[in-house]
Amino acid sequence: MRKPIIAGNWKMNKTPEEAAQLVRDLVPLVKDAKCDVVVCTPAVCFAAVKPIIEGTNVKLGAQNVHFKASGAYTGELSADMLKASGCEYVIIGHSERRQYFGETDKTVNLRATAAVKAGLKAIICVGEMQDERVDGYTDIIVTYQTQMALKGLTAEELDNVVIAYEPVWAIGTGLTATDEQANETIGVIRKAVAAKYGDEVAQKLRIQYGGSMKGSNVKGLMAQPEIDGGLIGGASLKAADFAQVVNF
């Protein structure tokens, strides 16, 4: 019912030349993928990557977007700028943006709204810190973050939204939630969507797992009924590694 989506978050890695080589290597490896495939590159790599993936099943994404159309926001990029650069997707509210750059639930909502209304597909990240999981607040945290992120969006606009559950304690640490933990929490996120939009909308929404998914654990995670793909960090930086996840 829900087509899986595997998106690579390159973070602050790869020069344009390196990016071009990576996608040249990647395209033939994932051409028969049964899921949607996205590479979210640094902005300086858009121009290098776009001509290589045109006409393929690999789509281009960005790692952030500002909520204003233009203005005095040094260093930021608008949704229209991303679209003009060939982006179809954009990651919003990644834990590193929250941790290092002051992203809040409110700004996540503003960015998501701007992206979707401009015609981009938003990959919205939610997830708990380690102490929040240990103290039993996971369900409360992800429910609140999800509902806040979607505030003001219509049921129809959720067709252009993907949620990525990324337990913050599993990002870049090598730790991974068990298949069952990931599935259970993604189920909680789906219930949070259902509470606002109804079960039919919630059952259509794709929800990824974003906590260190890689070739060695992708099959178990993707076998879970609630998990619709992955937001991939380190494993997306080598074509063979990313292809192993995509071709799960």
Instruction: Report the percentage of the chain scoring pLDDT > 70.
Output: 98
What pTM did the predictor assign? 0.96
> How buried is 220 (Cβ within 10 angstroms: 0-12 exposed, 13-18 middle, 19+ buried)?
middle
Residue 54 a catalytic site member: no
> How buried is 113 (Cβ within 10 angstroms: 0-12 exposed, 13-18 middle, 19+ buried)?
buried
Of 66, 128, 166, 226, the catalytic one is 166
Contact 40/8 with Cβ under 8 angstroms? yes
Q: What are phi and psi of 161, to 5 degrees?
A: -125, 135
Residue 66 a catalytic site member: no
Dihedral-angle region of residue 103 (phi above 0 means left; psi in -120 to 50 means alpha; beta otherwise):
beta
Class of domain 5-246: alpha beta
Q: Which two tokens stand for residue 66?
A: 């500002």
**What is the per-residue pLDDT across 90-146, written as a single tens digit (0 to 9) for each?**
999 999 999 999 999 999 999 999 999 999 999 999 999 988 988 999 999 999 999
**What is the per-residue pLDDT across 151-165, written as a single tens digit (0 to 9) for each?**
999 999 999 999 999
Alpha helices (H) along 162-217: 179-197, 199-204
> How buried is 9 (Cβ within 10 angstroms: 0-12 exposed, 13-18 middle, 19+ buried)?
buried
Of 94, 96, 103, 128, the catalytic one is 94
